[in-house]
Structure 1
Amino acid sequence: MFQPHYFHAKDGLRLYGRAYGFGAERRAGMPIVCLPGLTRNSRDFHGLATFLASPAGGGHPVVTLDYRGRGQSERDNDNGRYTIAAEAADVITACAYFGIDKAIFIGTSRGGLILHHLIVSAPALVARVVLNDIGPVVEIEGLLRIRDYLNAASGPESWAEAPMFLQRLHGEDFPLLREQDWRDMAEAIYRDEDGLPIADFDPAITAQLKGLTADTALPELWPQFDAFHDLPMMVVRGEHSKLLSEATVQEMSRRHPDLVAVTARGQGHAPHLHLGGLEAQIAAFIRG
């Protein structure tokens, strides 16, 4: 269903990505590159990537990536390189590796922030954009919540407990999710280590959030967002999101009049893009 690929960043770090619809049967549609959230990985996009690579989804070649320090990509011994700029450079390297000179990008949370960097540093690479629960303004309330649960000392004690653990943590914001969805989420978030589920990212990544407080001033990215003005753009906001506000989406729509704004009902941060009919809406947007 997908092909695993390992390749190297410019600084030599080994990176990982999945390719759907490549090889001898490579699809005719424009390539799609999926960029996950802060501590997430390529597995988050499996359902969506499978659909978009299928005839029903447009028959696109799709790449999903693990950033450095996440999933099957190598951990970086220099924590200072866990930055949006370094990760954006890795995305450019990944596109070169997969032979992509222009793509449709789908960015969830951190992935959307990376896209705000790419549109300035490599604008010719970007053809269309889907921002998943992220925009030029990040609400501190949502970021503090991410800080707290990612840096919590406790986690699930077994694979059997993992879906229930995630449901207790996020269930209030995700009433749409059913039992299988929580199991899928656990398999995307955790790796197996001696039979136990372990969060699949370098803990140094979330340590960067520990200094945040309610008074922390977060930079706004409106100048970078304005660089998207000539590109087709879609934003998906989780109905219960605390990271992307309705006010920010309204301002995004004012600045980008052709913006397609979608609410992911029954979901918080960040929406699962293969659920609730979102995959069909994304495919329709990509078809233009």
Structure 2
Amino acid sequence: MPLAAASTRLAPAPGWQRGYVFSGDNVRLCWREHHAPGVDDQRPVLLCLAGLTRNGSDFAHLGDSLGRDWRIIAPDLRGRGESGFARDSLSYVPLTYLRDLSLVLDAAGVDRFVVIGSSLGGLLALRMTTAHRARMAGVVLNDIGPELEVAGLNRLRANVGRGGNWLTWVHAARDLAVRNAGIYPDWGLHDWLAFAKRLCRISPQGRIVFDYDPRIAEPFRLPHGDAGADDWAAFDQLRGLPVLSVRAALSDVLSAATQTQMGRRLPGLQMVTVPGVGHAPTLAEPVAVAALAEFLHKVEQGEG
């Protein structure tokens, strides 16, 4: 049986259901799905991929804004959320994630999809062009691109796998606010509480802890652990698709120069900068909401 994190989690957001499939190495993979009655099944599915330490709950707000018109699927990558922990920590790498996503797409009966990828999820979106380019109807790259800033990568490597153990949700929220003050400088306690409840779970001991396997940090911290991947070549494969690049104004991962280069390299790229936030926007910011609505209208109209 796959290893799993015994825990108590908050009830799923209204309108969301769970689906499960097992990987080849016997890890239970979970995806969260919003499929409201009356949704036009001829439209592509919105496949939402979260960042390194995050899970599908990051996209729960899309159920309110887009769920009446679009089927939404938000997988928990292995080692996160309600997906099982892997026995081999070296399976926490993009190649394995991509194999897992293929299983999820098939199990969920997804034929054509738009990828909305935040951070690591955006890198996976780029690399999905290898096996799934013909099924992709569009791509949203949330504060990520083919070239990443060293400072941001070093910060992420230093933070992933760091412990967190709190008595209450308020304690967790206040600590996370201190750790991430430069990313969401305008947030109040209500925002940090919501953030904590997306990122954390209640352990069997009744403490608040991070909702991911800390061993996901092991391959991520290896020097040149992802050598050989040419994300600019993968980016070029998006030509002919609607693509939206969302950049955080305070980002230390995606520079303005890289986003500009992306625009030169991919004619028709829709670009937007979200003011006042760092890596990565939640996509609930008004600027991001408007850009996503415009982008999905473009997808619906079948524009390239």
Determine if the alignment matches structure 1 residue 98 to structure 2 residue 108. yes
Deviation at 1:125, TM superposition (A): 2.0
Kindly state the Cα deviation for residue 192 of structure 1 after the two structures are TM-superposed: 0.6
Residue 274 (structure 1) aligns with? 284
State the partner residue of 2:219.
208
Q: 1:246 aligns with which of 256, 263, 273?
A: 256
Cα distance, 1:149 vs structure 2: 2.0
Tell whether the 8 Å contact from 1:27 to 1:53 is kept in structure 2 after alignment.
no
Which string of whole-angstrom CA distances, capped at 9 and with x for unpartnered residues, describes residues 111-131 of structure 1?
A: 111112111222112110000
**Contiguous gaps of at least 5 residues in structure 1:** none
Given the alignment, which residue of 151, 158, 163 partners 1:141?
151
Task: Tell me how far apart the structure 1 counterparts of residues 251 and 228 of structure 2 sit (CA, whole Å).
Answer: 17
Please give the secondary structure, in 2, of the residue aligned with 1:258. Answer: coil
Q: TM-score, normalised by structure 1?
A: 0.91
Contact 1:238 1:270 in 2 (8 A): yes
The answer on 1:9 being equivalent to 2:23 is: yes
SS in 2 for 1:175: coil
Residue 184 (structure 1) shift:
1.0
**How far off its partner does 1:219 sit?**
5.8
Specify the SS of the correspondent of 2:180: helix
* Distance in 1, Cα, partners of 2:155 & 2:209: 20
Matches within 5 A, 1:226-265: 226-265=236-275
Percent of counterpart pairs with the same letter?
Answer: 32
Partner of 2:61: 47
> After superposition, what is the alpha-carbon deviation per residue over 1:112-171, rounded to whole angstroms, capped at 9, x for unaligned?
111121112221121100000110001111011112222434554432211111111112
Question: For 1:197-251, what per-residue CA distance to the aligned partner results, in whole angstroms no more than 9, with x for missing partners?
Answer: 11111111112344459xx989651111111111110011111110111111011
| Mapping of residues 88-167 of structure 1, within 5 Å | 88-153=98-163, 155-167=165-177
In structure 1, what residue type is equivalent to 2:107? Answer: Y
Residues 159 and 273 (structure 1), Cα distance of their counterparts in 2 relative to 1, 3 Å cut: same
Distance in 2, matches of 1:26 and 1:34, equals 17
User: How far apart are residue 10 of structure 1 and its match?
Assistant: 3.4
Structure 2 counterpart of 1:11, which letter?
Answer: D
* Contact 1:239 1:264 survives alignment (8 Å): yes
Query: Could you say which residue in structure 2 is the equivalent of 1:34?
Result: 48
Gaps of 5+ in 2: 1-14, 299-304
**1:176 Cα deviation after fit:** 3.6
Contact 2:18 2:31 in 1 (8 A): yes
Helix, strand or coil: the match of 1:240? coil
* Cα distance in 1 between the residues matched to 2:137 and 2:255: 26
CA contact (8 A) 2:90 2:219 kept: no
Aligned amino acid, residue 240 of structure 1: L
Cα-Cα RMSD? 2.0
Give how far 1:273 is off. 0.7
Give, as a single letter, the amino acid of the residue that structure 2 aligns with 1:208.
Answer: P
